[in-house]
Structure 1
Amino acid sequence: MAANNFEQLINSWEPRLRAAFIDAVYNVRNAAQVDQIARMLDRGDVDGALRAVGLDPNQWRVFDKTFEAAYEAGGTATANSLPVMHDADGFRVRFQFSVRNPAAEQWLKQYSSTMVREIVDDQRNMAREFLREGMERGINPRTTALDLVGRVNKTTGKREGGVIGLTQTQEQWVRNYMDELDNDPAASLSRALRDKRFDRAVMKAANGGEPLSADLKAKMLSAYKNRALKLRADTIARSETITALHQAQSDALDQAIQSGDLKADAITMTWRSAHDDKVREAHQGLDGQSVKRGGVFQSMLGPIRFPGDPSATAANRIGCRCWLEPSVDFLSGIK
């Protein structure tokens, strides 16, 4: 598969996974029982409130299905990149990737279920802590519920400005930003995720002018949460697109080898980076390096089979934008 074609594949599927993740978040938010959350909090029952939030893995099926589609697209594109061959009788033979291959099916089932479970578990932990702290601080139960799942936008009909969908770390960012708006507006101007349209009002308040109104702070906080959600979606979409496509590329080559269409020792994999200042140093060093099929690249952050390799460390795979370029020596072994 030519490198530019693989880039195109990444650029095609990343926005789809991003949109699917956000759709799944809205599925959770819209299904949450706000009144029941508030009632449970009023009783001091955090676990009951969490049940009312929902967080059913089935709500993430739209993301799961898109990941599966990206995986299949990666395998199919890899198969289509291989040249047409002919059998002993002269019949044309083209290798086809099968997403129903037992090994492919098993990997996809295990990885996607683990991926969704980890997302849901992270959301449960974040939501539980958010609900507990709201209750302990004596915040109105309904306010806590709405701050968690968001308030309905009358234009879109979706709940916006909630923290469902954010990581626990990002939810802490929100708390810190809220504290700055209340107590130190000038400090909030260093926040990368802030909506800069509000900067003038913040600077005025910081310089002793008109203080930020409760309504304005609510709008600023909602915008901050929405941007944090977009960042979360961007990060997940990039990482999981790379993982799906490269795992599929690897599995497609394995299937071609098993079918007898390719010889493993005839395949060379070359690492290609995005060639910009965002590429991590460890992957800058890998750019242009090649290994025989089945080999492992050795980076400063540890071994990695391909960009997005699930078995690599998080520092080595999360947010990676590199790709592998396979080449096949069809004359290998011929004397």
Structure 2
Amino acid sequence: MLKRLSAREKFEQLIADFEPLLRNAFMESIADIKSNIQIKRIVERLERNDIAGAFDMLHMEPAAFRPLDKAIAQAYEGGGVAAVSSMPAIKEPDGAKLVVRFDTRNYRAEAWLRDHSTGLINDIIADQRVGIRTYLTEGLEAGRGPRAMALDIAGRLNRATGVREGGIIGLTSTQAKYVASAHSELLSNDPVQLKHYLTRNRRDKRFDATVRKAISTGKAIPVETVDRMTTQQYANRLLLLRGETIARTETMGAFNESQMEAYRQLIDTGAIAESVVQRVWHTAGDSRVRDTHQGMDGQTVGFRTPFQSPNGPLLQFPGDPSAPASEIVNCRCRMSIKIDFLADLD
């Protein structure tokens, strides 16, 4: 006999289905940007100290993130369809069952998808501009050559696969700083800085013996090895983390917003009144839950009333993109919606 999944298990299954889709879409977008880069064009502009022009040569445009845009739309539709399938049976006045379908062509649904995807992609590009500009400025001031800097950004070509690997494209501006500081630590040949490098969680530990040898012997690590350790391996791991974070956060946001939209569409039919719809916040129920969200577990609000974090921020649902990043990044909470059919009888 097949086990009947709980609401939490159904939610986690949906997340498991769509998270890889969004992560792969983001990575596909970054790979496409890298594959179209002409290093010579970037080098020419860096030789003229034209950092803005060098960024323009990356051709990091909204259209490059079309795979991510499409994946968000798929997650949104998946969440809406799931919400409709879990709605309680609602009957027409004559006793017939009301047929409810999720409409992604609804004007609200289309507007949310358009505005949210545009905002997300524009934010990614704007942050890239900041991170790459800072990386280039500091690198050139430190005397790093234009070609080396161009490769630090775009990644180095794997001769066997013909694919660019590493590079800071796709990283947040903060992650780009991590790569730059790790690179500086390894080149310093300073035991204190080298030891600090060994505390970095996302480093490639296969090189730890190389770093420890440099500490014990005082012999500098070759520049080529440092490049491989940081702008290739370390950057690759940070990029994967970036993809996973975007996937989790965006899947959560799309699912919960589409769940809200599914009930808005039901209310539009007149079959139920908005006043009988309630929303409940549920945590993942383990030690990894944020302290603020622990205090929100079970919080019940009206259909349009936002949840409130103990720290103050208001959230329409877990993963609400309008809330501070500290409340939504990698959040694993979920929201349930219930209809109190007796609410309007008093």
Query: What is the CA deviation profile of residues 37-67 of structure 1, one whole-angstrom value per residue up to 9, with x for unaligned ones?
Result: 1111122322322221111110011111101
Could you tell me how far apart the structure 2 residues matched to 1:49 and 1:304 are? 39
* 1:211 CA drift (Å): 4.4
Aligned to 1:214: 223
Amino acid at match of 2:321: P
User: TM-score, normalization: structure 1?
Assistant: 0.93
Aligned to 1:148: 153
Q: Secondary structure of 1:85's match?
A: coil
1:191 to 200, 213, 227: 200
Give the ranges of 4+ consecutive aligned residues of structure 1 lying more than 4 Å apart after TM superposition: none
* 1:155 CA drift (Å): 4.0
> Which sits farther off after the overlay, 37-46 or 69-78?
37-46
Aligned to 1:237: 247
Q: Which runs of 5+ in 1 are unaligned?
A: none
Aligned residues: 335
> Which sits farther off after the overlay, 127-136 or 192-201?
127-136
The change in CA–CA distance for 1:162 and 1:240 in structure 2 (over 3 A counts) is same
User: TM-score, normalization: structure 2?
Assistant: 0.90
Query: What is the CA deviation profile of residues 83-128 of structure 1, one whole-angstrom value per residue up to 9, with x for unaligned ones?
Result: 3434344543321111111111112111111111111111122222
Aligned to 1:301: 311
Aligned partners of 2:275 and 2:344 also within 8 Å:
no
Aligned partners of 2:151 and 2:167 also within 8 Å:
yes
Amino acid at match of 2:202: L
* 1:255 CA drift (Å): 0.9
Q: Which runs of 5+ in 2 are unaligned?
A: 1-5
Amino acid at match of 2:324: T
> Structure 1 vs Structure 2: percent identity of aligned residues?
40
Please, what is the CA RMSD of the aligned residues?
A: 2.0
Could you tell me how far apart the structure 1 residues matched to 2:132 and 2:246 are? 19
- 2:172 is equivalent to residue 167 of structure 1: yes
Aligned to 1:205: 214
Aligned to 2:104: 99
The change in CA–CA distance for 1:263 and 1:7 in structure 2 (over 3 A counts) is farther
- 2:343 is equivalent to residue 327 of structure 1: no
The residue correspondences of 1:1-335 to structure 2 (distance < 5 A) are: 2-183=7-188, 184-208=193-217, 211-221=220-230, 222-302=232-312, 303-333=314-344
Could you tell me how far apart the structure 2 residues matched to 1:46 and 1:193 are? 28
> Which sits farther off after the overlay, 35-44 or 133-142?
133-142
Aligned partners of 1:174 and 1:225 also within 8 Å:
yes
> Which sits farther off after the overlay, 226-235 or 129-138?
129-138
Amino acid at match of 2:21: R
Query: What is the CA deviation profile of residues 228-272 of structure 1, one whole-angstrom value per residue up to 9, with x for unaligned ones?
Result: 111111221111111111111111111111112333232222211
